C-alpha cells in the first residue's frame, strides 16, 4: 500500500466536486429565468429545446436571485481551489502525469481496443491511462471557455469586445451552456469509470492509500468485469524424496 494522492490533491478534488455541483445547479436555475438563447420573437439555430425549462429537481438556489448568489459564490471558490491545485501540481511535479506525450494517441487507441474486446490484455500505463489523461487535460481548457463566456454574459456592456468576439450575448450564453454540458459529461464518465473499472481508487481519493495489486492494469479490468483482485496461486507442495521419508 502506498500513498497515491497527496492530501492537497484529495482536498481540492472534493471541494471541486461540491462546488461544481452547486454551480451547475444554480446555473441551470439562472437559465430557467430565460430558457432560450434567442431574443424574444426570434429563433436560435442550435438548441432544439428553446423555451423549455430545465426540470426543477436539477436546479439549485430556490429563486433567481438566490441562484445568482450561489453561482457567484461557487465561482470564486472554484477559482481559488483551481489555483491551489494548479500551483501544487506544478511545484510538486505532478503535472508530468497529465501532460500529453508522444505516443498518447497510440495508447488511447490501444485502450479503446481493450475496452471493446479487440485486445486481450490491459495496455501498460502509468498513474493514468491515455484516455484518463486526455479527459483530465481537456478539463482546464473547457473550464477556461466557461470562465471567458461567463465573464462575457456577466458584464456584456463592460466587456463588449469579448462578448462580440463570442458572437454576441446569445452566443456567449450558448458557449457557456455547451462548455458546462461538456464538463458535466466528462464528470459523469469519470464517475462511471471509477465504479465500473477502478472502485479501489475511491480509497486513494479519501485516505490516499492505493495498492497497485488492485489497479485495473493488474486485474485486466474492463467496465464491470474483473472487479475483484486476482487470487495468488497456492505455493506448490514439495514432493517427498525418492527414497521416502528419512528414518529418525
Task: Name the residue range of residue 8's domain.
Answer: 1-97
For residue 165, being part of any structural domain is answered with yes
Report the alpha-carbon distance of residue 179 to residue 175 in Å, rounded.
Answer: 6
Q: Which three-class secondary structure string do you get for the chain?
A: CEECCCHHHHHHHHHHHHHHHHHHHHHHHHHHCCCCCCCCCCCCCCCCCCCCCCCHHHCCCCCHHHHHHHHHHHHHHHHHHHHHHHHHHHHHCHHHHCCCCCCHHHHHHHHHHHHCCCCCCCCCCCCCCHHHHHHHHHHHHHHHHHHHHHHHHHCCCCCHHHHHHCCCHHHHHHHHHHHHHHHHHHHHHHHHHHHHCCCCHHHHHHCCEECHHHCHHHHCCECCECCCCCCCCCCCCCCCCCCCCCCC
Average pLDDT over residues 64-86: 93
CB proximity list for 175: less than 8 A, separation 6 or greater: 145, 149, 166, 167
14 lies in the same domain as 57: yes
158 lies in the same domain as 201: yes
For residue 185, being part of any structural domain is answered with yes
127 lies in the same domain as 91: no
For residue 235, being part of any structural domain is answered with no
User: How many CB atoms within 10 Å of residue 92?
Assistant: 12
121 lies in the same domain as 86: no
51 lies in the same domain as 118: no
Decide: 43 and 50 in contact? Cβ < 8 Å.
Answer: yes
Average pLDDT over residues 162-179: 95
Question: What total number of domains does the chain contain?
Answer: 2
140 lies in the same domain as 52: no
What is the reported pLDDT for 235?
Answer: 54
52 lies in the same domain as 136: no
92 lies in the same domain as 118: no
224 pLDDT exceeds 70?
yes
185 pLDDT exceeds 60?
yes
144 pLDDT exceeds 80?
yes
For residue 237, being part of any structural domain is answered with no
For 119, phi and psi rounded to 5 degrees? -135, 140
For residue 139, being part of any structural domain is answered with yes
For residue 190, being part of any structural domain is answered with yes
What is the reported pLDDT for 181?
Answer: 95
Mind listing the pLDDT tens digit for each residue in 189-203? 999 989 999 999 899
Q: Count of residues for the chain?
A: 248
Average pLDDT over residues 206-211: 90
218 pLDDT exceeds 60?
yes
248 pLDDT exceeds 50?
no
209: β partners: 3
132 lies in the same domain as 90: no
Amino acid at each position: 500500500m502506498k500513498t497515491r494522492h497527496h492530501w492537497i490533491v484529495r482536498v481540492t478534488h472534493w471541494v471541486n466536486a461540491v462546488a461544481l455541483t452547486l454551480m451547475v445547479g444554480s446555473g441551470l436555475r439562472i437559465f430557467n429565468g430565460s430558457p432560450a438563447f434567442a431574443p424574444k420573437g426570434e429563433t436560435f439555430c442550435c438548441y432544439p429545446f428553446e423555451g423549455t425549462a430545465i426540470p426543477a429537481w436539477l436546479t439549485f438556489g430556490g429563486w433567481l436571485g438566490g441562484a445568482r448568489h450561489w453561482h457567484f459564490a461557487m465561482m470564486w471558490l472554484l477559482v481559488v481551489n483551481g489555483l491551489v491545485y494548479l500551483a501544487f501540481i506544478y511545484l510538486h511535479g505532478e503535472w508530468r502525469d497529465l501532460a500529453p506525450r508522444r505516443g498518447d494517441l497510440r495508447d488511447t487507441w490501444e485502450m479503446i481496443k481493450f475496452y471493446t474486446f479487440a485486445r486481450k490484455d490491459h495496455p501498460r500505463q502509468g498513474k493514468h491511462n491515455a484516455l484518463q489523461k486526455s479527459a483530465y487535460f481537456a478539463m482546464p481548457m473547457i473550464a477556461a471557455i466557461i470562465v471567458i463566456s461567463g465573464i462575457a454574459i456577466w458584464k456584456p456592456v463592460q466587456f463588449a469586445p469579448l462578448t462580440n468576439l463570442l458572437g454576441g450575448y446569445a452566443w456567449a450564453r450558448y458557449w457557456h451552456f455547451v462548455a458546462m454540458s461538456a464538463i458535466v459529461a466528462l464528470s459523469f464518465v469519470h464517475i462511471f469509470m471509477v465504479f465500473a473499472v477502478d472502485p479501489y481508487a475511491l480509497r486513494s481519493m479519501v485516505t490516499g492509500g492505493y495498492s497497485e495489486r488492485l489497479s485495473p492494469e493488474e486485474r485486466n479490468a474492463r467496465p464491470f468485469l474483473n472487479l475483484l483482485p486476482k487470487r495468488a496461486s497456492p505455493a506448490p507442495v514439495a514432493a517427498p524424496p525418492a527414497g521416502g521419508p528419512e528414518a529418525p
